[in-house]
Each structure stands twice: as C-alpha cells, then as structure tokens.
Amino acid sequence: MNVNRWILGGAIALIAAAAAFFFLRADGSEAADGQTAVELPAGLERADLEIVIREYILANPEIIPEAMERLQERRMVQMISTVRDGLETPFEGAWAGSADADVTIVEFFDYACGFCRTSLPDIERLLAEDDNLRIVFRELPILSEESVDAARVSLSAARQSEYYSFHRALFAAGRPGDATIAAAQRSAGLNSARVQRDIADPAIEAEIRNNRELAGQLELTGTPAFVVGDRILSGAVGYERLKEAVEEARRSS
C-alpha cells in the first residue's frame, strides 16, 4: 500500500471529522485561526454534511498538507512508542555517550553506507558537546555481504567494550572488506579469538535480525536513519537537524 496515499486518505478523514465537529457549531463567523468559516445552512441533514465539508476544504486547501503532516507525526509517535523500550536498549556495549542520558539517539546504519560515514562527525560533535546524550547504534547491514561481516565483528567489539573504537576505525578505513575489517579490528585492540567465537554465536545473528525487524516496524527504507524522541530522521540530515531533534526531545520529556 502506498504510504503517501494512506496518509492522504487518513488526513482527509481527519479533516472531515474535524470539520463535522466545527460545522455542527458554526455560526458563520471567522474561524479562530483565521480560516474562512462556512455558514451552516438551517435544517442541514447529516447526508448534506459532505457537501459543506467539501466547500470548507475548497475554501481552505492549505489544511490538506497541514493535516497530512499532523497525521504523519501521529503515526510516527505510535510506531516509535510500540518499540521504544527495545529500540533504546543497546546490544551490550553498542552505544556511546552518557549512561544516564536524558535523550537517546538511535542510529540504524550500514558500514558500506557512504552517508553513514559522512554522518559520523555529526554524531561525534553532538557527543562532545552534550554530556546528557547517548547514541545507541543498530547495525542494519543491507548493502552487501561485507556489510554483514562488518556488523558481526562490530557486535563482537560491543561485547569487548570496544564498540565505538571499532566503529570509528572501520569508517575511517573505508568500505568494509577483509582488509579494512581486519585493520579496524587491530586498531580497536579486539581479541581475534573472541571475535571468531562471537561471529559464530547465534545471538549475534539474532541481533542483526532484530534490527531488521525494528527497521521494518518503523518503516525505514535506508540508512542512515535516526530515531530521536518521537521523531524519525532519514538520511544524512546533518548536525543542526540532529541537534534540533535532541532539543525538541529534551523539551518534551
């Protein structure tokens, strides 16, 4: 089902419900927000209400995108609220920042994703500036088999309390492959024998599968994707937008 069509249909239904409530109380005066009010004809029957609602929408077409945006925001809040606890609980050490943070950013990423690499300095800057922020990293290896290999080693790094060191080292090394993964592993000081045991552990595969399921529940279509409070930000949105989302989440908490 086309999501935009679903949102548009829902938005129109939302407008209709709101308009019905409004018109049942309308007296022909101007609406409080400055929009044009349509006078309720005497003796209006329920069946005629659709005509009045249509006239209202035609007189105030700007409410369509406004209603679509509001409905999308509500859907986003609902989707996040159903998975929030699991979403913000990291896999062992797969996080950075403050353990007692008042705001958490959850990032879905792929080590083969160039936009994820360009977003890393924004994450580093936020962590450097904000002592009450935590980043939870969720591997979403969707671009290549090498992405999957990198995600497995990354999760072993989480178990060895060297997650963020490996994370930064691999992005610095370039696209994931045998050589770059091995270089990042050495840079982070990982125990090679432990890595081999971990990548064969079904719990590692279960975590990757869990991340894919979470991404599906949140209707994510690519990487990077950030969940901040009740907002989902898709793509390399940049430092300023991430900071704004953090501040909004902090005000709402």
Q: What is the DSSP string of the chain?
A: --HHHHHHHHHHHHHHHHHHHHHTT--SSPPTTSPPP-PPPTT--GGGHHHHHHHHHHH-TTHHHHHHHHHHHHHHHHHHHHHHHHHHS-STT-EEE-TT-SEEEEEEE-TT-HHHHHHHHHHHHHHHH-TTEEEEEEE---S-HHHHHHHHHHHHHHHTT-HHHHHHHHHHH-S-SHHHHHHHHHHTT--HHHHHHHHT-HHHHHHHHHHHHHHHHTT--SS-EEEETTEEEES---HHHHHHHHHHHHHH-
**Predicted pLDDT at 74:** 74
Place of tokens 């800057």: 125
**Predicted pLDDT at 75:** 75
Report the range of poorest mean pLDDT among 14-18, 65-69, 209-213, 214-218: 14-18
The predicted model gives 40-65 an average pLDDT of 68
What top-level class would CATH report for the domain 92-252?
alpha beta
32 pLDDT higher than 50: no
pLDDT digits over 105-125, tens only?
A: 999 999 999 999 999 999 999
**Predicted pLDDT at 67:** 63
Q: To the nearest whole number, what is the mean pLDDT of the chain?
A: 84
The predicted model gives 67-72 an average pLDDT of 64
Distance CA(84)–CA(98), nearest Å, equals: 18
pLDDT band at 241 (very low <50, low <70, confident <90, very high): very high
Burial of 111 (0-12, 13-18, 19+ CB in 10 A): buried
The predicted model gives 206-222 an average pLDDT of 95
The predicted model gives 38-58 an average pLDDT of 64
Q: Which residues pair with 227 in a beta bridge?
A: 106, 232
The predicted model gives 19-46 an average pLDDT of 48
181 pLDDT higher than 80: yes
**Predicted pLDDT at 78:** 79
CB atoms under 10 Å from CB of 176, counted, come to 26
66 pLDDT higher than 60: yes
Pinpoint the residues of the chain covered by CATH 3.40.30.10.
92-252
Starting at the earlier edge strand, list the strands of the sheet with 103-109.
Answer: 95-97, 133-139, 103-109, 225-228, 231-234
pLDDT band at 56 (very low <50, low <70, confident <90, very high): confident
Count the residues in the chain. Answer: 253
The predicted model gives 172-176 an average pLDDT of 95
Angle at 243 between CA 238 and CA 244, to 5 degrees: 105
pLDDT band at 28 (very low <50, low <70, confident <90, very high): very low
**Predicted pLDDT at 105:** 98
